[in-house]
Amino acid sequence: MGGETRTEAELEKAKAIDKMIMARPWWEMVLRGILLLVLGVIAMVYPDITIGIIVLLFGALILIEGIFLVIGSIAVKAEDPMWVVLLIGGIVSIALGAIILAWPDLTARVVLFLIGAWALIVGLINLMWALKVRKHEEVTGKGVHAFFGIVGIAFGIIAIAWPEETAVTIVVIIGIFIALMGILLAIAGFMARKEQTIE
């Protein structure tokens, strides 16, 4: 009985978090996803003329996503024991984004390392959440979170372990990651639209 009660409580917490995520304006997620996708494609097609812009925009992206993580962690503090992980991830993201924006002239290698560290942290958070609720079919978006987590972790490891490369190569790598983020965010937006329509 105790195990069933604990499982039901965990399910309710997971559903509450999922509801909070899906309650965000679906069009906002889709729009951000499209913008990220476009930015990623531009970075891949024209890396030599967008290096500075890509670095600044990605720094801003990390900062904004960090703010969302902090707000989200506070919102689910009562429901999810993982809120501390989200909070730490948000604070680290804000710090990394601020560093990139404050010192845009950092070497490409340093920028790639910072972005890789951020991707690794956010990827781990998403994968941990997906694994935590994997047995609960009622919770939507597990696949998107799991895939984003795997992509983030893979990108983070590659970025941190990547040997010295040209700035153009680094921007192309960042562009690929940004494009994937955009696609996944747009998918999450359309999933949220479906959930909101049903309700």
Phi-psi region of 106 (alpha: psi -120 to 50; beta: other; left: phi over 0): beta
With respect to residue 157, please indicate whether it lies within any of the assigned structural domains: yes
Structural domain that includes position 186: 51-192
Residue 113 structure tokens: 């390392």
Most confident of 22-36, 48-62, 68-82, 170-184: 170-184
Residue 67 has pLDDT above 80, yes or no: yes
Does residue 20 sit within a domain? Answer: no
Run of H or E including 70:
helix 51-75
Note whether residue 30 is domain-resident. Answer: no
User: Which range is most confident: 20-24, 108-112, 154-158?
Assistant: 154-158
Q: Is 83 in contact with 58 (CB distance < 8 Å)?
A: no
In a domain, 22, yes or no: no
Angle of CA points 5, 11, 16, to nearest 5°: 130
Quick check: 192 pLDDT over 80? Answer: no
Encoding tokens for residue 10? 């965990």
Domain count, the chain: 1
pTM summary value: 0.65
Residue 184 counted as domain residue: yes
The answer as to whether 16 is a domain residue is no
pLDDT of residue 94: 92
Average of pLDDT values for 98-125?
A: 81
| Alpha-carbon span 143 to 38, nearest angstrom | 23
Residue written as tokens 């309700």?
Answer: 199
Q: How far apart are CA 48 and CA 42, in angstroms?
A: 10
CB atoms inside a 10 Å sphere around CB 15: 16
